């Protein structure tokens, strides 16, 4: 355990050995890493703990540089724990380099079945008494971290002093098909809003699709850049600055060469940075599994449901003279072939998509009897989490107070400064 400082922060590294399978506490262990953050003036004080659960799945906790955005507010009264959820960050990694240590694809898939919200919450419960002495803590869940927080409320509410959720109220019962069936119209709205803001991008996008139909293109690092891969560049459109970032990427699309117009190195490098799953392979491998409950396989739900929305066929759109629609955070089976970071894991991903018998993640009866103060920010037209599903869940959780707003997108916690966290804390305390 080491302690070090940044301006306005005292940081301490923590490492824990937790059971891979909490149903077998004497079995194999994996490592969890977490970073404790406290304000220098409070470093020696007894403070309540706030556990931050990052979005994803598959993202390590954010790395702070000073007391900025929501962290500034949290450090006024909390000691904050930034947890690298299992398989992410400095916790025992799970990627194309390490998963072969488990054996073949079947063994890898069985291993990764222990990496959903239920195991993450059991990890938190393993850690909590070692840090708080058994006292309950506050959980702040962003996006998928909010899904974990709702599981926490379903299984161990006695461990929570308060629950704060931002853009992360899951449907309690919708299967992956229903989640994506609700998602495609939201994505279409975001794409059309982007073209309304930047109408010049419509022609550029048509030209890129036409180019990719005629040319085989590879991104730096070996990623196959197909029409479908190009459409996946719409993933950032659900964030506050995503439309602007996409526009600035597209304005560098083409460069003149002796062989005629070609996609520029600048554009291709920017596309690689957005499309590569090398930093977060669990996002691709487990994304649909976060919606899996009961005995039904997810079976590449995003791909299957997409067929119900023919307007997302980019080549047909271009043939009609229309701009192609981008897609969102959907994970498709072709990505396992296109991305070098995923290719060795293709069979593992297929086995996870075929897997049945996923355990239920939420307990509606227990949530209906909830006594933990809970507040949730619901973003009105959130591209990633359906607001209708979120509000249905909010009505199920006893005492939950919502703040429905269109002032922010999905990343409101990060970009609002202290405002989102301020508002949620005030709601749980009857001050707003």
- Look at residue 1 and tell me whether its pLDDT is greater than 90: no
- 155-183 confidence digits (pLDDT tens): 999 999 999 999 999 999 999 999 999 99
Q: Which domain holds residue 100?
A: 3-173+362-428
CATH code for the domain of 164 = 3.40.50.1820
Domain co-membership, 136 together with 180: no
- pLDDT tens readout for residues 375-413: 999 999 999 999 999 999 999 999 999 999 999 999 999
Is 129 in the same domain as 38? yes
* Domain final residue, candidates 354, 385, 415: 354
* Rg value, the chain, Cα: 22
Closest CA to 145 of 84, 208, 227: 84
- Please give the mean pLDDT across all residues of the chain: 96
Within this chain, do residues 199 and 141 fall inside the same structural domain, yes or no? no
pLDDT in tens, 103-152: 999 999 999 999 999 999 999 999 999 999 999 999 999 999 999 999 99
Of 337, 354, 371, the position where a domain reaches its end is 354
- Distances in Å between the alpha carbon of 191 and those of 14, 201, 236, 313, 347? 42, 11, 11, 14, 32
Same domain for 138 and 264, yes or no, is no
> Quick check: 357 pLDDT over 90?
no
The percent of residues in the chain predicted with pLDDT above 70, rounded, is 100
- Per-residue tokens: 177: 């098909």
3-state helix, strand, coil in the chain (%, to 5): 45, 15, 40
Give the whole-angstrom CA distance, residue 375 versus residue 166. 9
Q: Are residues 277 and 388 in the same domain?
A: no
Out of 336, 354, 372, a domain closes at 354
What's the Cα-to-Cα distance from 298 to each of 58, 352, 358, rounded to whole Å? 18, 8, 10
Looking at the structure, tell me whether residues 230 and 95 fall in a common domain. Answer: no
Residue 294: pLDDT band with limits 50, 70, 90: confident
DSSP-assigned states of every residue in 285-348: HHTGGGG--BT----SHHHHHHTT-GGG-HHHHHHTTPPPPP--S---TTHHHH-TTTGGGHHH
pLDDT tens digits for range 34-43:
999 999 999 9
- Strands 3-6 and 374-379, by their bridges, are unpaired
**Whether residue 197 is found in the same domain as residue 318:** yes
Residues 202 and 326 in one domain: yes
Is residue 43 a contact partner of residue 10, using CB atoms and an 8 Å limit?
yes
Residues with a catalytic annotation lie at: 143, 382, 410
**How many structural domains compose the chain?**
2
- Mark whether 329 and 185 lie in a shared domain: yes
Q: Are residues 151 and 240 in the same domain?
A: no
Same domain, 56 and 202: no
User: pLDDT at residue 269 above 80?
Assistant: yes
Please tell me the pTM assigned to this model: 0.96
* pLDDT for residue 417: 92
Q: Within this chain, do residues 186 and 273 fall inside the same structural domain, yes or no?
A: yes
């Amino acid at each position: 355990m080491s302690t070090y400082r940044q301006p306005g922060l005292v940081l301490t590294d923590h490492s824990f050995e937790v059971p891979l399978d909490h149903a077998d506490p004497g079995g194999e262990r994996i490592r969890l890493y977490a970073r404790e953050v406290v304000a220098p003036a409070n470093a020696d004080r007894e403070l309540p703990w706030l556990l931050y659960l990052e979005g994803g799945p598959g993202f390590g906790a954010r790395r702070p540089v000073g007391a900025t955005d929501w962290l500034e507010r949290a450090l006024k009264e909390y000691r904050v724990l930034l947890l690298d959820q299992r398989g992410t960050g400095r916790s025992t990694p799970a990627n194309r380099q390490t998963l072969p240590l488990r054996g073949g694809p079947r063994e890898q898939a069985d291993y990764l079945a222990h990496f959903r919200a239920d195991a993450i919450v059991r990890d938190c419960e393993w850690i909590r008494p070692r840090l708080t002495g058994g006292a309950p803590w506050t959980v702040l869940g962003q996006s998928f971290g909010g899904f974990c927080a709702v599981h926490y409320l379903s299984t161990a509410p006695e461990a929570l002093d308060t629950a704060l959720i931002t853009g992360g109220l899951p449907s309690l019962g919708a299967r992956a098909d229903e989640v994506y069936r609700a998602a495609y119209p939201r994505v279409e709205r975001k794409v059309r809003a982007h073209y309304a803001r930047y109408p010049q991008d419509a022609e550029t996008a048509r030209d890129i699709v036409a180019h990719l139909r005629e040319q085989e293109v590879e991104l730096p690092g070996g990623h196959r850049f197909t029409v479908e891969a190009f459409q996946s560049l719409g993933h950032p459109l659900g964030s506050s600055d995503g439309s602007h970032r996409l526009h600035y990427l597209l304005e560098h699309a083409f460069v003149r060469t002796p062989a005629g117009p070609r996609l520029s190195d600048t554009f291709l490098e920017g596309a690689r940075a957005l499309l590569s799953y090398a930093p977060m392979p669990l996002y691709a491998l487990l994304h649909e599994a976060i919606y899996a409950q009961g005995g039904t396989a997810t079976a590449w739900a995003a791909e299957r449901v997409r067929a119900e929305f023919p307007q997302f066929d980019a080549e047909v759109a271009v043939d009609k003279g229309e701009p192609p629609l981008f897609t969102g955070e959907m994970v498709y089976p072709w990505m396992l072939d296109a991305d070098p970071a995923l290719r060795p894991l293709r069979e593992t991903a297929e086995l996870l998509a075929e897997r049945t018998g996923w355990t239920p993640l939420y307990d509606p009866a227990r949530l209906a009897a909830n006594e933990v103060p809970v507040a949730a920010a619901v973003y009105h037209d959130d591209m990633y989490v359906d607001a209708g599903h979120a509000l249905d869940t909010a009505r199920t959780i006893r005492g939950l107070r919502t703040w429905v707003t269109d002032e922010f997108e999905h990343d409101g916690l990060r970009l609002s400064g202290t405002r989102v966290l301020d508002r949620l804390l005030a709601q749980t305390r009857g001050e707003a």
